[in-house]
C-alpha cells in the first residue's frame, strides 16, 4: 500500500533528522511530540511523565505511555526514543533512502521500530475493532539501561499477557527470542603517585595494576559457553614521568543465562578484589544491568504464532498488499489475540513479567559497527531495511 509506505517514510524522516541522544532531552522530547501527536490522532489515551532528575543526575527526556482498547488480551509494546548518537550526527548524515534501504542515525535502532508500532496499531484500528488492549511505552533512556523508565515498564509488565519489544530484527527479519544479559562493570584502581625517575619505589602504579586486571578479565572469555568479557575503555595516569595514582577500566560482560552471568560477575569481582601490584586497591561498580532473557516455552509458542502470521495473508481489506513490518507486527497481534494456543505469559527476571518476543518490523542487519553505522543485509521481501 504505497500511500502508507510514503506516509511512514515521511514521518520516519522527521524522527531520524532529530538528534535524540539519551542526554539530549530536547531532541528526545521532539521525538515524543511526534509520537504524542500520532497517539492523539488515532484516539489513544496519552500519559507523559517528565523526568525529574535527582541532584547530580542528568536531565532525560519524557516517558510517553499510550493506551488504547479495553478488552481482550493485554499487549505491551515497548520502543525507545533515544539513540547513541552525539549532537550533530543528524546534520552530518541526515535521513536518506536508497531503493529499499533507509539510512540515518538511529533509523535502525530504533526509530523505524518505534514508528512501525504506531502504524501497526493504526492498521488494526482501520480494520475494525481492536481485539486486544494495548499499552505502548515509548521510553527516553533505553540506551543507558532505562534508569528512569524501568520501574514503570516493570509495573506495566505485571498486568500484561504479551510483550513485544520493537527493537531491530536480526538480518533477514529473524526474531529475537533470547538475549544475553549485559553487565556494565566500572573499575577504579587507586595506587600511589611518585616521581618515576627520582623515587619510583615510593609509588604504586595503578596503570600497571589495571594492566594485570585487564589480562585476567580477558582470560574469563570462553570459560562458560557464550560468555564474553571486554575491557573496552581504560584510562589512567597523568604524565609519563609520574607513577600513576589512578586508572579506570570500563568492562562489558555478557552471558546467555543467569547462572553463567552470575558466575562471571563473581569471577570479575574476585579479580577486582585481588591485587598484583603492592600498594594498589580497586573498587568496582556494576551498573546498567540487563539480565539474560532465556528462551522459554511460552516464548516458543508466541514465536510459532508469529511465524504463522508471517506466511498468512490476512483478510484486512485496508492492508491487503502491504508487506511491511507494521503488518507483520499486526499479524502477530492478531494471532496472539485470537487465542490460538491460549494466553501467553512469560516468567521473566522480575517474576511474572510478561516477556518477550523481541521483534521489530524492519530488518536491522548485522549490528552497529565501529563507525556507529549499521550494516544491513538485503531484505528478503519488499520490506524496508535500515542502516544507521
Ligand atoms: Zn535499541
What are the contacts of 2-5 at 24+ separation with CB within 8 A?
4/119, 4/123, 4/319, 4/322, 4/324, 4/326, 5/322, 5/324, 5/384
Question: Are 313 and 357 members of one domain?
Answer: yes
Question: Are 141 and 282 members of one domain?
Answer: no
Cα 82 to averaged position of ligand 1 atoms, centre (Å)? 8
**112-131 mean pLDDT:** 82
Residue 40: its H or E element: helix 25-41
| Mean pLDDT (the chain, rounded) | 78
What's the pLDDT at 386?
A: 52
* pLDDT at 343 > cutoff 60: no
Residue 297: its H or E element: helix 297-311
CATH number, domain of 227, equals 3.30.70.360
Last residue within a domain, chosen from 290, 319, 343? 290
List the single range of 110-114, 193-197, 210-214 with lowest mean pLDDT: 110-114
More confident residue, 290 or 30: 30
Cα 167 to averaged position of ligand 1 atoms, centre (Å)? 5
266 close to 309: Cβ distance less than 8 angstroms: no
Cα 163 to averaged position of ligand 1 atoms, centre (Å)? 15
Cα 205 to averaged position of ligand 1 atoms, centre (Å)? 39
Question: Are 190 and 273 members of one domain?
Answer: yes
Cα 362 to averaged position of ligand 1 atoms, centre (Å)? 13
Question: Are 8 and 139 members of one domain?
Answer: yes
Cα 257 to averaged position of ligand 1 atoms, centre (Å)? 20
Cα 212 to averaged position of ligand 1 atoms, centre (Å)? 34
Question: Are 20 and 62 members of one domain?
Answer: yes
What's the pLDDT at 49?
A: 98
Question: Are 104 and 137 members of one domain?
Answer: yes
Phi, psi at residue 126, to the nearest 5°?
Answer: -60, -30
Question: Are 64 and 173 members of one domain?
Answer: yes
The listed range with the strongest mean pLDDT (132-141, 237-246, 300-309) is 237-246
Q: Which residue has the cell 504479551?
A: 162
Cα 180 to averaged position of ligand 1 atoms, centre (Å)? 14
What's the pLDDT at 116?
A: 85
Domain that holds residue 189: 181-290
Cα 127 to averaged position of ligand 1 atoms, centre (Å)? 29
What's the pLDDT at 40?
A: 96
Question: Are 43 and 128 members of one domain?
Answer: yes
Please write the tens of the pLDDT for every residue from 276-293.
999 999 999 997 667 787
Cα 168 to averaged position of ligand 1 atoms, centre (Å)? 7
Using 50, 70 and 90 to split pLDDT, how confident is the model at 379?
A: very low
| Burial class of residue 23, CB neighbours in 10 A (0-12, 13-18, 19+) | middle
List the single range of 3-17, 35-49, 216-230, 287-301 with lowest mean pLDDT: 287-301
List the single range of 26-40, 160-174, 319-333 with lowest mean pLDDT: 319-333
Question: Are 52 and 149 members of one domain?
Answer: yes
Please write the tens of the pLDDT for every residue from 122-181.
877 887 777 788 999 999 998 888 889 988 988 888 788 777 888 776 655 566 667 788
Cα 237 to averaged position of ligand 1 atoms, centre (Å)? 34
What's the pLDDT at 144?
A: 86
What's the pLDDT at 345?
A: 25
Using 50, 70 and 90 to split pLDDT, how confident is the model at 326?
A: very low
CATH number, domain of 155, equals 3.40.630.10
338 close to 210: Cβ distance less than 8 angstroms: no
What's the pLDDT at 288?
A: 60
Please write the tens of the pLDDT for every residue from 314-325.
333 333 333 344
Question: Are 241 and 169 members of one domain?
Answer: no
Whether cis (ω within 30° of 0) applies to the bond prior to 381 is no
- Residue 48 Cα distances to 40, 136, 152, angstroms: 12, 12, 12
Share of the chain above pLDDT 70, in %: 72
Cα 113 to averaged position of ligand 1 atoms, centre (Å)? 9
Cα 141 to averaged position of ligand 1 atoms, centre (Å)? 10
When divided into structural domains, the chain yields a total of: 2
Last residue within a domain, chosen from 257, 275, 290? 290
Last residue within a domain, chosen from 235, 264, 290? 290
Cα 7 to averaged position of ligand 1 atoms, centre (Å)? 23
Question: Are 121 and 8 members of one domain?
Answer: yes
Question: Are 25 and 47 members of one domain?
Answer: yes
Using 50, 70 and 90 to split pLDDT, how confident is the model at 358?
A: very low
Cα 260 to averaged position of ligand 1 atoms, centre (Å)? 24
* pLDDT at 60 > cutoff 80: yes
Cα 272 to averaged position of ligand 1 atoms, centre (Å)? 30
Cα 109 to averaged position of ligand 1 atoms, centre (Å)? 5
Using 50, 70 and 90 to split pLDDT, how confident is the model at 11?
A: very high
Cα 142 to averaged position of ligand 1 atoms, centre (Å)? 7
* pLDDT at 264 > cutoff 50: yes
Cα 374 to averaged position of ligand 1 atoms, centre (Å)? 12
Using 50, 70 and 90 to split pLDDT, how confident is the model at 260?
A: very high
Using 50, 70 and 90 to split pLDDT, how confident is the model at 381?
A: very low
Amino acid at each position: 500500500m504505497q500511500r502508507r509506505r510514503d506516509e511512514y517514510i515521511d514521518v520516519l524522516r522527521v524522527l531520524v533528522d532529530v538528534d535524540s541522544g539519551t542526554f539530549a532531552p530536547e531532541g528526545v522530547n521532539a521525538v515524543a511530540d511526534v509520537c504524542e501527536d500520532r497517539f492523539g490522532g488515532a484516539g489513544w489515551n496519552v500519559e507523559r511523565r517528565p523526568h525529574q532528575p535527582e541532584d547530580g543526575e542528568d536531565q532525560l527526556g519524557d516517558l510517553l505511555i499510550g493506551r488504547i482498547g479495553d478488552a481482550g488480551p493485554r499487549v505491551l509494546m515497548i520502543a525507545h526514543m533515544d539513540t547513541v548518537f552525539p549532537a550533530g550526527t543528524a546534520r552530518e548524515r541526515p535521513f536518506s533512502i536508497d531503493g529499499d534501504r533507509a539510512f540515518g542515525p538511529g533509523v535502525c535502532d530504533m526509530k523505524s521500530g518505534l514508528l512501525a508500532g504506531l502504524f501497526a496499531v493504526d492498521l488494526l484500528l482501520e480494520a475494525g475493532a481492536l481485539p486486544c488492549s494495548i499499552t505502548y511505552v515509548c521510553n527516553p533512556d533505553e540506551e543507558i539501561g532505562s534508569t528512569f523508565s524501568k520501574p514503570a515498564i516493570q509495573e506495566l509488565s505485571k498486568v500484561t499477557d504479551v510483550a513485544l519489544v520493537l527493537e531491530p530484527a536480526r538480518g533477514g527479519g529473524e526474531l529475537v527470542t533470547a538475549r544475553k544479559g549485559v553487565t556494565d562493570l566500572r573499575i577504579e584502581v587507586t595506587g600511589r603517585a611518585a616521581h618515576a625517575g627520582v623515587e619510583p619505589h615510593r609509588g604504586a602504579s595503578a596503570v600497571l595494576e589495571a594492566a594485570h586486571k585487564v589480562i585476567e578479565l580477558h582470560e574469563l572469555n570462553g570459560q562458560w559457553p557464550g560468555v564474553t568479557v571486554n575491557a573496552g575503555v581504560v584510562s589512567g595516569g597523568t604524565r609519563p614521568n609520574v607513577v600513576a595514582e589512578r586508572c579506570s577500566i570500563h568492562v562489558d560482560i555478557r552471558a546467555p543465562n543467569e547462572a553463567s552471568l552470575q558466575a562471571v560477575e563473581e569471577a570479575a569481582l574476585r579479580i577486582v578484589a585481588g591485587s598484583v601490584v603492592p600498594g594498589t586497591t580497586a573498587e568496582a561498580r556494576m551498573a546498567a544491568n540487563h539480565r539474560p532473557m532465556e528462551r522459554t516455552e511460552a516464548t516458543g509458542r508466541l514465536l510459532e504464532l508469529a511465524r504463522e502470521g508471517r506466511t498468512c495473508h490476512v483478510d484486512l481489506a485496508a492492508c491487503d498488499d502491504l508487506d511491511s513490518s507494521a503488518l507483520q507486527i499486526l499479524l502477530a497481534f492478531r494471532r496472539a489475540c485470537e487465542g490460538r494456543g491460549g494466553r501467553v505469559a512469560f516468567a521473566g527476571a522480575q517474576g511474572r513479567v510478561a516477556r518477550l518476543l523481541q521483534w521489530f518490523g524492519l530488518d536491522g542487519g548485522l549490528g552497529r559497527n565501529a563507525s556507529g553505522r549499521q550494516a544491513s543485509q538485503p531484505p528478503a521481501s519488499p520490506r524496508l531495511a535500515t542502516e544507521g
